[in-house]
Amino acid sequence: VDGNDEPNAMCLTTCSYNIPSARYVLLKEIKDEKFVFYTNYNSHKGKDIESNPNVSILFFWAESQRQIRITGTITKGERKEAEEYFVTRPIDSQIAAMASPQSHEIDINKVLDEIERIVANDQEIKCPEHWGSYHISATEFEFWQGQPARLHDRIVYTYSENLWKIKRIAP
């Protein structure tokens, strides 16, 4: 979308124990009609997904006054897919994925020491077992277009009984 520095940034909302949690992740591709992103499975979001596969993602582009809200279910991708994508990441990002226990309390010096150890020992850089992709299968899309006087245009597509139903809703 024109004028947006990160048009593939999406706010992922997960929920466990009836407490929602939102954070931004980057959409890497749409594959087999599923939205794909990569992360540490042991992270806060990974634990939420493990307990509740229902998620929501939101793309918001302020410059064009547009957003798309998507709800659906999420599953882990194949290991081979994670390994293939991992090697395309910048080397610093690969090392960080190996060294960082994402979302866990840390002593930053221990993480930096681990990074230094990996680099100094010329350790083989490989995709950690706890790192990979998630695939979101959409069950609902809401397209929002900002309009003057807050009379925003909202169109909702809902998947039910093997077909998409379309409706326009009030601003």
β-bridge pairing 34-40 and 9-16: unpaired
Residues identified as active-site: 150
